[in-house]
Amino acid sequence: MELKPRVLVVGGGAIGGLFAWRLSLSKDIVVSIVCRSNYVEVKSGGYMINSAQFGTAVYRPAKVYQTVEEAVEEEGPYDFVVVALKALPNIYDSSERIAAAVGEGTMVLVFQNGIGVEEPFARRFPRAAVVSTVTFVSVKQEEPGMLRHGGFSMLASGVHNVESGMMAQAQAKLQFLSDVFVSQGVSSIIEADIQPYRWQKHILNGSTNPVSVICNGASCQEMAKNGYCRKLLEDTMAEIFVLGKKVTGKSFPGVDGIVDPQSATEYIRSIPVPVYTSMLVDSQCKRPMERDVILKNPIALADKHGVDVPHMKALYAMVTMIEEGYTR
Ligand SMILES: NC(=O)C1=CN([C@@H]2O[C@H](COP(=O)(O)OP(=O)(O)OC[C@H]3O[C@@H](n4cnc5c(N)ncnc54)[C@H](OP(=O)(O)O)[C@@H]3O)[C@@H](O)[C@H]2O)C=CC1
Ligand SMILES: CC(C)(CO)C(=O)C(=O)O
């Protein structure tokens, strides 16, 4: 009997739980997951999922592990490793956390938000295929193991680095996984150059996430409805459009009809259910925020390319001080 490809999802929070669930519904693939603070709940009762797109379900993963090392010892090596940890390079190196699971032929898919998130993986695994996956989705873990997902899920992936001569093989492998996602209702596309998609996603992440923290709890819709706050969002988005085009040398793909700052705030206003950003949730829970990949890395690129980003710099200063205030 031919062995089925095996996936290890590292980080069984909102994104990890949701996408492990969709993959697990396919008979073509075997999915295991590494959980940390919600290990006991997921191991005993699985995930309770409430999804506007897919309905409600209980997902009991075939295998739940507490550490990557434990997973590798029991069933490694893996064909795919999905990285669904928060990207917090100022606190830990995500690539180090998955290193034990990356062997000969493992494809690493980086599902994290932000700019420059692939670099630690490319540095640590120069011979592996590292894929950058941009996730257009909204999902939250409300209680340990309880996920609430919105009405859509879209993935855009592209090979970030691969050993010389191995590109065709990597593309075929990525296509296989993408097809599995599509078979389970997740939109999934593959792009030769994924960075314009990453920057497209960043229009919302780089603006609404930090501004919502400073606004002390506002939803994205509330921010986009207030004239002054909308202007702040649009000015920040304008910097991201200019910077992203300069860095990638390309226009953004225009996902969700977002082609400029004004269409972005119109889009936000049109979302029927209140959206609270992940950075806001992290700040309210007094957890570290993904401020480096959301703001610091783009600011470093702006300095390198000579692009003026005063709003991003001001937002970075403020969220950094807010975080220092509650972690001190
Ligand atoms: N949620 C969303 O709608 C979206 C999120 N993203 C991005 O996806 C990434 C993941 O976000 P999200 O799922 O929301 O975050 P969560 O905090 O819900 O999930 C991250 C999970 O990783 C776990 N984790 C951290 N370190 C380890 C470790 N060493 N071993 C095992 N597990 C570990 C955390 O455990 P613990 O609870 O113990 O900290 C947590 O369960 C982020 O980059 C985010 O920006 C992108 C698009 C949308
Ligand atoms: C909902 C959205 C798009 C807000 O920027 C997001 O991705 C996040 O909260 O991290």
What's the pLDDT tens digit per position in 124-144? 999 999 999 999 998 999 999
Confidence tier at 238 by pLDDT (50, 70, 90): very high
**Whole domain around residue 251: which residue ranges?**
196-327
Residue 29 lies in a domain: yes
Specify whether 225 is located in the same domain as 320.
Answer: yes
Residue 277 lies in a domain: yes
Is any ligand 1 atom within 6 A of the Cβ of residue 135? Answer: yes
Is any ligand 1 atom within 6 A of the Cβ of residue 196? Answer: no
Non-local CB neighbours of 291 within 8 Å, separated by 6+ positions:
90, 210, 279, 316, 319, 320, 323
ipTM of this model? 0.97
Specify whether 165 is located in the same domain as 310.
Answer: no
Q: How many domains does the chain have?
A: 2
Q: Which protein residue's CA is at the shortest distance from atom 24 of ligand 1? A: 11
For ligand 2, residues with CB inside 6 Å are 113, 138, 204-205, 208-209, 275, 277-278
E strands, 76-125, in order: 80-83, 107-110
Specify whether 35 is located in the same domain as 179.
Answer: yes
Domain final position from 161, 192, 223: 192
Specify whether 251 is located in the same domain as 276.
Answer: yes
Summarize pLDDT for 243-270 with one digit per residue, the tens.
999 999 999 999 999 999 999 999 999 9
Confidence tier at 1 by pLDDT (50, 70, 90): very low
* Distances in whole angstroms, Cα of residue 245 to Cα of each of 91, 136, 175, 290: 29, 20, 27, 23
Specify whether 187 is located in the same domain as 170.
Answer: yes
Contact at 8 Å (CB) between 288 and 87?
A: no
Residue 200 has pLDDT above 50, yes or no: yes
Residue 59 lies in a domain: yes
Residue 1 lies in a domain: no
Consecutive H or E run containing 63:
strand 63-65
Domain final position from 192, 220, 249: 192
| CB-neighbour burial class of residue 216 (10 A; exposed 0-12, middle 13-18, buried 19+) | exposed
Residue 21 has pLDDT above 90, yes or no: yes
How close is the Cα of 205 to the center of ligand 1, in Å?
15
